[in-house]
């Protein structure tokens, strides 16, 4: 992590931002009646993934950063749940979700790997 100057250098953050943008794009397809429901919850959860990665990186210790990465994984699970709910309610098609699901999986793997490397540090 010596070459990491700030959170923007983290691939996990970069991919999480891509996911957030994709989720906002998908949320635009939701019906207006969901503006304060699924739309709000999904976009909030998606934005929280890179925000928690950034906040964790800005903290002083590896354990704190690892905790924020764990929180970001929880937000990923929320995003997955709301996107699946949107699919089941026929607001979004399976094909609509492919990119978001792929990004969510990738962010999850990156966050987990980063967290494990932080916790192995002396």
Q: Which CATH architecture has domain 7-120?
A: Up-down Bundle (1.20)
Number of other CB atoms surrounding residue 55 within 10 Å: 16
- Cβ-in-10-Å burial (0-12, 13-18, 19+) of 24 comes to middle
R_g (Cα) of the chain, nearest Å: 15
The pLDDT tens digits of the residues spanning 9-36 come to 999 999 999 999 999 999 999 999 998 8
Provide the whole-model pTM.
0.92
Predicted confidence at residue 1, as pLDDT, reads 46
Give the span between the Cα atoms of 11 and 69, in whole angstroms. Answer: 13
The pLDDT tens digits of the residues spanning 43-99 come to 999 999 999 999 999 988 899 999 999 999 999 999 999 999 999 999 999 999 999
The domains of the chain are located at: 7-120
Give the span between the Cα atoms of 18 and 117, in whole angstroms. Answer: 23
Phi/psi at 73 (5° precision): -65, -35
């Amino acid at each position: 992590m010596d070459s990491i100057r700030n959170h923007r250098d983290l691939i996990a953050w970069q991919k999480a931002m891509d996911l957030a943008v994709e989720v906002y794009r998908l949320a635009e397809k939701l019906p207006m009646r969901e503006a304060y429901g699924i739309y709000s919850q999904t976009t909030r959860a998606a934005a929280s993934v890179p925000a928690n990665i950034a906040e964790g990186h800005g903290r002083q210790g590896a354990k704190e950063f690892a905790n924020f990465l764990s929180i970001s994984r929880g937000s990923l699970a929320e995003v997955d749940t709301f996107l699946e709910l949107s699919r089941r309610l026929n607001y979004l098609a399976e094909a609509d979700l492919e990119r978001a699901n792929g990004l969510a999986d990738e962010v999850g793997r990156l966050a987990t790997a980063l967290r494990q490397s932080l916790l192995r540090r002396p």
